[in-house]
Amino acid sequence: MNAANPTNPTNPALTPPADRDPAWWPRVFWCSAALVLLWPLMVATEFKPWVLLEASSLRVSGRFIGSFFPPALDAEFLTLVARDTWRTVAIATAGITLAWVIAVPLTLLSTRVLSISALSGRMATLPFVARQAVRWLLIVLRSVPELVWALIFVRVVGLGPTSGVLAIALTYGGMLGKVYAEILESGEPLATQTLLRNGSGRMQAFFYALLPGSSAELVSYTVYRWECAIRSSVVLGFVGAGGLGQQLDNAMKMFNGGEVATLLLVFMALVALADRVSALLRKGLA
Amino acid sequence: MAGLLALVVSSFWSLDLQWAQFFSAEAAASMGRFVGEFFPPDLSPAFLRKVGVGMAETLAMSLLGTLLAVVGGLALALPASKGQQLLRAPTRAVLNALRSIPELVWAALLLISAGLGPFAGTVALALHTTGVLGRLFAESIENAPAGPAFALRAQGAGTLQVFFYATLPQVLPQVMSYTLYRWENNIRAAAVLGVVGAGGLGQLLAFHMGLFHMAKTATILAAMLLLVALVDSLSYAWRRGLTR
C-alpha cells in the first residue's frame, strides 16, 4: 500500500532525487573560509582598488598610458635599445656560463649515484654528511633572490654588468646544481654501479656511464635556464646592472611613455625570440 | 655548437667585466670588511617588530596576489582552452602579454597609478601570475578527459554549468598543485618587489641598504630566508595532504 503512495514514500526507489548539489557543503565551506581569510589579507596589503579609480589617479594613469602612443622610434634611441638588448643577452649568457662552472663540481660532490659506500646498500656517515652539506650550500645559493645578490654586489663592484653577471651566476648555480643532481639520480643507475663495483674511478664512471644517458635532459634544462636568465637580467637592470632593465627604469622615472612602450615591445619580442631559439636548441642538441 | 661557443666568448668580451678589480687583493680586503659589517645582525626588539610587520606584509602580498591570480586565471582559462574557437586567440595573447612582463616591471608601472606601498606589489603579482596560471589552467582543461563534460552537455547543461560541475572538479587537484608552486615563487618575488617601493621586506631592505645599515640588512635578509623556508614547508605539507 505504501509503495504506491507518493506523499508518504517508504520505498527508497520511489523517493525523488534531492534537488541540491551533492558537493554543496564543502564548496560553501571553502568559499567562506577564503572570504574570512581575505579580509585581514586585504587590510595588511592596503588593498584599496577604488584608489585606482579616483579622479586624480585616473588622470595620471591616463596621461601616462596615453604617452605610450606613439612609441619612440627615432634612430638614436633605437641604436641605444639595440645595444642594450645585446648587453642583456650577454649578461644572461655570461651569468649562465659561470653558473654552470659553479654547478658542475657541486653536482658531482652531492649526487648519491657516484657514492661508493652506497654500493653496499647504505651510505657511510661521513660521505652522507658531506653530501648534505653541499646540498645545503646549493639551497642557500638558490634561496637568496638574485635581486638581493645584485644589490650587494653593486655596493662592492659598483654599477655595471659585473654585479648582474655575478648575481645570476650564484643564484642559477644553485638551481642548476640541484636539478643536475636530481636528473643524474633519476636515471638508470645500473651501468654506473657496475663500473664502480669493478674498480673504475668516479670520474670515469660519470663520463662513461652517467653522462651519456642524462645528457639530453641536462642540456635541455640548461637551455631553459638560459632563457630564464634573460628575463632575470632585465629585472636586475632595475638595480643598476645595465641593459634593457636600466633603460626601462630610466624611462619610467622620467615618465617617458614612448620610450617605455618601445622598450616593453622590444623586451616581449626578445623573450619570444629566446623562447624560439631555446626550443630549437633543445630539439637540436638533445 | 660553434655558434654557442661564439655567443659565450663574445658575451664575456663585449661586457668588459672588471675581473681584475674584483679579484685583486684590495678588492678581497674590502669585500672582507663589507661582509664583516653584516655581523652581528641587529636583533633589537623595536627593529624585530618592524621586520615582523614587513614579513606579515610580504606574506599577505604573496597570498592575496596568488588568490586573485587563481580567480583571474580560472576566468581566463576557459576562453583560452580548445573548446572556444572565437575567443581562444585573443585570450591567449592577453595571457602571454601578462606572463612575459616580469613582476618587477609590472610593479614599477603600477606604482604610477597605485602609489607606493604593498597595493602595487599585490596587483603586480596578481597580473603576472594570472598570465602564468591562466596558461597552465587552460592546458589542464584541454587535457582533462571529456567524458563528464560530454555527458552534461548531452543533457543540455550550459557552458558555465559544464565548467563548474564537470571540468572544474576534474582539474582541481592540478589547479591546487600549480597554485602552490606559484605561491612558492611569489613569496620570493614579493620579498624583492619592495625594492622599487612596493612595500614589505623589500622596501625595508632597499631603505636600510641605501643608508649602509649593514647589521639591519643582515636581519632583513635572514627574515627573507626564513619566510621563503616557511612557505616552502607549508606548501610541501599541503601537497602531501592533497596527494594522500
CB contact under 8 A, B105 and A255: no
Q: pLDDT tens digit string along A243-263?
A: 898 999 888 888 888 888 899
pLDDT band at A19 (very low <50, low <70, confident <90, very high): low
Instruction: Compare B15 and A98 and report the one with higher pLDDT.
Output: A98
Is the pLDDT reported for residue B177 higher than 80? Answer: yes
Mention every residue, 6+ apart, whose C-beta is less than 8 A from residue A7.
none
CB B174 within 8 A of CB B140: yes
Task: Name the burial class of residue A55, with classes exposed (0-12), middle (13-18) and buried (19+) by CB atoms within 10 angstroms of its CB.
Answer: exposed
- Smallest CA–CA distance, residue A87 to chain B, in Å, is 7
Domains of chain B by range and CATH?
A: 41-242 (1.10.3720.10)
Percent of chain A's residues with pLDDT above 90: 16
Half-sphere exposure of A112 (CA within 13 A, CB side): 19
Q: pLDDT tens digit string along A205-217?
A: 888 888 888 888 8
- Smallest CA–CA distance, residue B189 to chain A, in Å, is 8
pLDDT band at A12 (very low <50, low <70, confident <90, very high): low
Task: Name the burial class of residue A53, with classes exposed (0-12), middle (13-18) and buried (19+) by CB atoms within 10 angstroms of its CB.
Answer: exposed
The residue among A45, A149, A231 with the most chain B CBs within 10 A of its CB, best to mutate, is: A45
Domains of chain A by range and CATH?
A: 75-285 (1.10.3720.10)
Reported ipTM: 0.79
Contacts 24+ apart (CB under 8 A), B223-226: B223/B51, B223/B54, B223/B55, B224/A144, B224/A145, B224/A148, B224/B191, B225/A140, B225/A143, B225/A144, B226/B55
SS (H, E, C) B14-29: HHCCCHHHHHCHHHHH
pLDDT band at A26 (very low <50, low <70, confident <90, very high): confident
pLDDT for the residue B67: 92
- String of DSSP letters for A60-121: HHHHHHHTTSS----HHHHHHHHHHHHHHHHHHHHHHHHHHHHHHHHHHHH-GGG-SGGGGS
Q: Which chain B residues in 12-71 lie under 8 Å from chain A, judged by CB atoms?
A: 12, 14-18, 21-22, 27, 30-31, 34, 56-57, 60-61, 63-64, 67
List the single residue in B with minimal CA-CA distance to A96: B8
CA proximity to A170, closest of A141, A150, A134: A141
Q: First vs last Cα of chain A: how many Å apart?
A: 76
Instruction: Compare A66 and A89 and report the one with higher pLDDT.
Output: A89
Please state which of the ranges A1-5, A35-39, B134-138 shows the lowest mean pLDDT: A1-5
B72 contact A CB<8A: no
The residue among A148, A163, A238 with the most chain B CBs within 10 A of its CB, best to mutate, is: A148
Measured at the alpha carbon of residue B205, what is the angle toward residues B204 and B211, in degrees to the nearest 5? 95
CB A147 within 8 A of CB A239: yes
pLDDT for the residue A2: 47
